[in-house]
Amino acid sequence: MSPWEASIFIDDEFIKRLTYLTDNQWISKRTGETLDVEHIQYLDDFLIRIGGFLIDIRSQQVNDFGKYRTILFHDNWKPEIFLLYSPVIYITAFSSEAVLKQLKLCITSIRRFGNYTGKIVVMTDKSLTYIQELCGDHDTSRLDIDTLHPSDFVGYVCSKYYVLDKAIYKGHQPLLYLDPDIIFDNDLNVMLKDALLSEEICAPFERQSPLRTQPSVGSSLIQLDGLSVGTYAVGLNGGTIIFPNTEAPETYNFIRLVRRTIRNVGTKYGRNFCHWADQEVFNYMAVKLGLVNYTILTKYANFISNDPFDPYSKKGFVHFWGNHDKASVMKHYMNQLEEIERSRTLHKVVG
């Protein structure tokens, strides 16, 4: 080996990016393996072991190390893609007492049944102290707020799109948006990682809502624009959306276009033309641009209106839209989950 092959010029930027790699959690794009800090090991001056991958940093260039997506050359020549796994969940919950009750139940389910220990941000007009006391969590690394003061219903439902260029969301991947009337009944980290590996915006089908005829999923806008959709095509539910991150160009531009279209439609037809503006425009843009993955979250989603439901399915989460007293129904469902958990624990002890 010649002398230049046994050495490498490393500047401050290279060291900074290498340190960022070794300080964070990543997922292998190819294998789906989650690589924590303990899976990253320096072997000698040039070699790093990351899980089952052996990386010689002499084969790396500074631009290989990205903030959200990194390319490493295993065994000096085999490219492998790694995606940053640093999720954040954000939930909208404003001054309504009923909505705040839903928020408390939603966050409780995320922690207890969703097995999620990461950061949750509440978009709200309440103080941080109020939200932390409501949810019983005073650690701002786990629970924080993003203060907004929407002036009407349209502003409230569209607040989910005000995440661009905010420090509280930068550096996180993926971002999971939630309406507060949702209960998680299974490990949500599986869903987050599944969506992250797609590197796409993800939302679940709303199977009962035809795109051609249901205004809440954008039929009015689709018809006004003269777009063609299939006879049996259904819309997407905007109460659960996963964005890769807020800085990826496709995601950034999609959210920006949604916001501008909401504003433009309001200017042309009146602010209340789209009652569910957030979901109507989201679906319209999904049809027009084709940038939303609808398969991944659909397999984790249950939607409950006023029908009886089966807590044993536990697909991932249940969205309790359509109920007048959502908090009571959500609490009832959580009680059932807790009873199932107690029964299984007792069965294990007896067994």
Ordered by start, the domain boundaries in the chain are 3-84, 88-338
At 206, is the secondary structure helix, strand, or coil?
strand
Whether the pLDDT of residue 312 is over 70: the answer is no
pLDDT band at 151 (very low <50, low <70, confident <90, very high): confident
Q: What is the mean pLDDT of residues 94-115?
A: 95
Q: How does pLDDT run across 173-231, given as a tens digit for each residue?
A: 999 999 999 999 999 999 999 999 999 999 999 999 999 999 999 999 999 999 999 99
CATH of domain 88-338: 3.90.550.10
- Cα–Cα distance, 121 to 92 (Å, whole number): 9
Q: How does pLDDT run across 284-298, given as a tens digit for each residue?
A: 999 999 999 999 999
Q: What mean pLDDT is reported for the chain?
A: 92
Phi first, then psi, for residue 200 (nearest 5°) are: -130, 160
Please report, for residues 24, 33, 87, the alpha-carbon distance to residue 81 in angstroms, rounded to integers and kept in the order given: 15, 11, 18
**What H or E segment, with its residue span, contains residue 73?**
strand 69-74
- Cα–Cα distance, 23 to 15 (Å, whole number): 12
pLDDT band at 351 (very low <50, low <70, confident <90, very high): low
pLDDT band at 306 (very low <50, low <70, confident <90, very high): very low
pLDDT band at 350 (very low <50, low <70, confident <90, very high): low
Helices and strands of the chain, counted as H and E runs: 9, 19
Q: Nearest-CA neighbor of 88 among 141, 139, 39, 127?
A: 141
pTM of the model: 0.94
Least confident of 79-88, 138-147, 309-318, 328-337: 309-318
Instruction: Note every long-range contact of 67-76, with CB atoms under 8 Å and residues 24 or more positions apart, other chains counting.
Output: 67/20, 67/171, 67/247, 68/173, 68/244, 68/245, 68/247, 68/248, 69/199, 70/21, 70/26
- Cα–Cα distance, 285 to 62 (Å, whole number): 36
pLDDT band at 309 (very low <50, low <70, confident <90, very high): low
Whether the pLDDT of residue 348 is over 90: the answer is no
* 72 in Cβ contact with 25 (< 8 Å): no
Q: Which residue has the higher pLDDT, 84 or 344?
A: 84
Kind of pairing, strands 182-184 and 175-178? unpaired
At residue 308, the pLDDT reads 46
